[in-house]
Amino acid sequence: MAVYEATASAPVNIACIKYWGKRDTKLILPTNSSLSVTLDQDHLRSTTTSRADPSFTEDRLWLNGKEEEIKEGGRTATCIAEMKRLRKQEVEDKQPNEPKVKNHPHHAPQILRSDHLGLQLSTHHVHIASFNNFPTAAGLASSASGFAALVSSLAQLYKLPVSPSTLSLIARQGSGSACRSLFGGFVAWEQGTLPDGSDSLAVEVAPQSHWPDMHALICVVSDDKKGTSSTSGMQRTVETSPLLQHRIKHVVPQRMADISAAIRARDFDKFAEITMRDSNQFHAVALDTEPPIFYMNDVSRAIIALIVEYNRVSVEKGLGRKAAYTYDAGPNAVIYTLKENVKEIVELILKYFPQREGAFKDVFGLLGGVDVAKVEG
Ligand code: ADP
Ligand code: DP6
Ligand code: CO
């Protein structure tokens, strides 16, 4: 008996223009467009294996070795169902002489028997096992890499010749930010206007090779699970924050245009200014929520102060900003900077946030796009 199994990895992405708010919670359609940088595979990633077998009696999911319930009608169930639907479509499209079964579901087994590849896969249940090589649900975008890896592994299992944008439509229904992890480099999630969500997808703004000197320094302030999940936090913001309404109407559209232009022009100073302002506004909107949400802590704020001072000195010298902090829904800092400044910034952080012996050894060795540091206040 053949075993059908496929493994795929996806990296996290860290937004410069933050997604925070849904206009449709079921389809996961956002209240604003967003833009992020996808980090290298080698560092923060999810690796997911999907297996289909006729003996399986239900779809099941293990996350970091522990079984998670797949809720009926929930996000994971939706992603699996959508991928099975694409597989079915693909098999039917490859059988041009066979009658289409779309309107006659009771004929489906006949068609599937005639699939000469013997891949009746879309009818089998799947078992999915995923591992994150970094803290889960701690504000380091595990839902982004997680759902991107999940749909990618199913796309491989089902041998679907689909584009990253098509897969992004499905990953989006698992976790909004996941749609951006289907592309490397600089990626926009266009909010779209259609009620069915078919134009709410990820598009590449520029590949990583466009600006290979762009680096991200990950400062892990805490790897604890966050108190308020992104999903519930942003819903509360939509329901209670007047500042969010101002942000989505009057701030984000211009920022999306400006940061895309800065990326195209490799204008780090502008990129940094917009990234830091958008992180600040996202956390302001969280604070404007009732009851308020605090994702940053004192160490997060101390890192902001350090980067602000570092940039002030650099601007004074006429060099422009050299670093940009950004925080997702958690206390952990991501610092974007150009390769030439990585060493200096790591030394600066080391000076103000002393590490345990050897804790930084890896940091200097990693030049592939992202460096990880554990920061203690
Ligand atoms: P984060 O800041 O890490 O993205 P979220 O609150 O947005 O935190 O989402 C965390 C949730 O995402 C987890 O509780 C889990 O349900 C889901 N998730 C995380 N990693 C994976 C994965 N590898 N595969 C499937 N789902 C995952
Ligand atoms: C602050 O994508 O995790 O990281 O769609 O409900 O799963 P759901 O939320 P999620 O939210 C991410 C919020 C953010 C900003 C961003 O990544 O754009
Ligand atoms: Co998330």
Q: What is the pLDDT of residues 8-42, one digit of tens each?
A: 999 999 999 999 999 999 999 999 999 999 998 77
Q: Whose CA is nearest to atom 3 of ligand 2?
A: 230
User: What global pTM score does this model have?
Assistant: 0.90
What confidence tier does 51 reach under pLDDT thresholds 50, 70, 90? very high
* Parallel/antiparallel/unpaired status of strands 60-63 and 66-68: antiparallel
* Parallel/antiparallel/unpaired status of strands 125-132 and 4-11: unpaired
Query: Given a cut of 90, is residue 184 above it in pLDDT?
Result: yes
The tens digit of pLDDT for each residue in 319-343 reads: 999 999 999 999 989 999 999 999 8
What confidence tier does 57 reach under pLDDT thresholds 50, 70, 90? very high
Query: Given a cut of 60, is residue 369 above it in pLDDT?
Result: no
Spacing, Cα 177 to ligand 2 middle (Å): 5
Pocket test for ligand 2, best of 26, 78, 200, 230 (most atoms within 8 A of CB): 230
Lowest-confidence range among 15-24, 54-63, 120-129, 311-320? Answer: 120-129
Cα–Cα distances in angstroms (integers) from residue 102 to residues 84, 105, 167, 321, in the given order: 14, 6, 22, 57
Q: What is the mean pLDDT of residues 172-193?
A: 97
> Mean pLDDT score of the chain, rounded to an integer?
87
63 lines ligand 1 (CB under 6 A): yes
* Parallel/antiparallel/unpaired status of strands 125-132 and 60-63: parallel
Q: What is the mean pLDDT of residues 89-103?
A: 62
Predicted pLDDT at 83: 96
9 lines ligand 1 (CB under 6 A): no
Q: How far is CA 170 from the centre of its chain?
A: 13
Q: In the structure encoding, which two tokens stand for residue 211, read together?
A: 């600006």
Q: Do 244 and 237 contact (CB within 8 A), yes or no? A: yes
| Helix or strand holding residue 62 (H, E) | strand 60-63
Phi and psi torsions of 273, nearest 5°: -60, -50
Spacing, Cα 137 to ligand 3 middle (Å): 7
Q: Do 294 and 286 contact (CB within 8 A), yes or no? A: yes
Predicted pLDDT at 96: 57
Query: Given a cut of 80, is residue 201 above it in pLDDT?
Result: yes
Give CA–CA dist 113/179, Å, rounded. Answer: 34
28 lines ligand 2 (CB under 6 A): yes
Q: Do 262 and 324 contact (CB within 8 A), yes or no? A: no
Pocket test for ligand 2, best of 12, 18, 19 (most atoms within 8 A of CB): 19
Q: In the structure encoding, which two tokens stand for residue 72, read together?
A: 């009926």
Predicted pLDDT at 218: 87
Region for residue 133 given its phi and psi (left: phi exceeds 0; alpha: psi -120 to 50; beta: otherwise) = alpha
Q: Rounded to a whole number, what is the largest CA-CA distance in the chain?
A: 74
Give CA–CA dist 348/70, Å, rounded. Answer: 45
Predicted pLDDT at 304: 96
Predicted pLDDT at 106: 44
Neighbours of 276 (CB within 10 A): 22
Spacing, Cα 19 to ligand 2 middle (Å): 6
Pocket test for ligand 1, best of 36, 70, 131, 143 (most atoms within 8 A of CB): 143
Q: How far is CA 368 from the centre of its chain?
A: 19
